[in-house]
Amino acid sequence: MFSDGLKKLINDNLLRVICDRESGSTASRIIIDGEEYINFSSNDYLGLANHPLIIEAAKKAMDRYGFGAGASRLLSGGTELHGKLEKMIAEFKGTDSALIFNSGYAANISAIPAIAGEGDIIFSDELNHASIVDGCRLSKAKKVIYSHGDISHLSELIKKENGNRKIIITDTIFSMDGDIAPLSDIYNLCANLNSELRTPNSMLFYIDDAHGTGVLGEGKGALAHFKIKPDPFIIQMGTFSKALGSYGAFIAAQKDVIDWLINKARGFIYSTALPACVIAASIEALKILEREPALTEKLRQNRERLLKGIRDLGFDTLNSETPIIPIIPPYPPLAKGGRGGLSDVETTIKFSEHLMKNHIYAPAIRPPTVKLPRIRLAVTAAHTEEDIDKLLKVLRQAIGNRR
């Protein structure tokens, strides 16, 4: 039925296949087909997924509550641990309340349609995550796309549009480019417009802090990084599945927003609750993050070491400001006159294969995930200096091989 489409994907070097690992979830190592690789593809930024205290917390919760939740939170699926985690997240993010969702994708495609209705206008960054794009599509609001991180363009578009409510939605850290949204500028724009209109929350600011939570602002996230207070017009989405090494997601906001989502967010209402052992793991991860600031400092140091080494080799890393570091072909010294013909999917795949042959795991990222193919490197606090130096050595070899 789909054979012709699959053939085209193969011919275009765009066919995706699943590559399951045989190892546990460690940030720095991965075993595939019996071979161990240094893993530079994980979002486990703080290396918490295998932390013994988190594993122990999950085991204890499973002994007490069993595994499956059995029902949605609005029926009988929730436990006291769910409420405890929500209180912890609200305090962590500086909001009145919080609500747990089963994944970051579920949170965005549930919360965005719930807060954006007919007559409203959503302004969405052009590089926002697919879950934001889908959440916007599911809403009945008008969708307006602004140029990536371009405040001037965003301001112009807002002035042109009239609606019941205007909502700006952006990732904080963009997952494929590694840059950070200009949150201070967007916050000021929202605050000024709300002040001018003299109508509280006529302009909402929805941020997806999936890659910022545990990474920016000494772990508190993007608002803390920019020293922005979580005003009532701000709605924060974040995940437990990346830097916190667990699973699931949350929305943190003022109480009336959370009460509205409990009643209107379909992905919350109609989904079986996360197992209590998963919730216990997230609780323990939050505790570790708050008492061990050395983790975020180690992440920062590793990121600086790797980024400097990559740029010294002459690679284009776009505007990366975070542990997510893209490297864009063609490779120096073949980059004369710009990206040129070598910057294609096939070259990127070959480059990923070169890394794999040298026991570095970093898959090629291709369209439609990104317009421009790349290797997306993700460095973590669990990587050693030796791991980073090995990667830099292999990258240096790749340059030499193409001379």
Judge whether 51 counts as a catalytic residue: no
Side-chain-side CA neighbours of residue 182 (13 Å)? 17
Q: Report the alpha-carbon distance of residue 267 to residue 261 in Å, rounded.
A: 10
Q: Report the alpha-carbon distance of residue 304 to residue 270 in Å, rounded.
A: 43
The per-residue DSSP string of 146-190 comes to: E-TT-HHHHHHHHHH---S-EEEEEESB-TTT--B--HHHHHHHH
Catalytic one among 175, 241, 246, 320?
175
Judge whether 225 counts as a catalytic residue: no
Catalytic one among 242, 320, 343, 383?
242
For the chain, percent helix, then strand, then coil, each to nearest 5? 40, 15, 40
Q: Report the alpha-carbon distance of residue 256 to residue 275 in Å, rounded.
A: 26
CA proximity to 109, closest of 271, 267, 274, 272: 267
- Report residue 73: phi and psi, to 5°: -65, -35
Q: Take residue 86 and report the two structure tokens written for it.
A: 């929500």
CA proximity to 244, closest of 193, 196, 285: 285
In angstroms, the Cα distances linking 23 to 27, 28, 170 are 11, 11, 34
CA proximity to 339, closest of 324, 312, 318: 318
CA–CA–CA angle 389, 32, 295 (5° rounding): 45
Judge whether 220 counts as a catalytic residue: no
Q: What is the largest CA-CA distance in the chain?
A: 64
Q: Which residue reads 């724009």 in tokens? A: 189
Give the list of residues 6+ apart from residue 267 with CB closer than 8 angstroms, or none.
101, 102, 106, 107, 109, 110
Catalytic one among 129, 211, 220, 383?
211
Enumerate the active-site residues.
Answer: 175, 211, 242
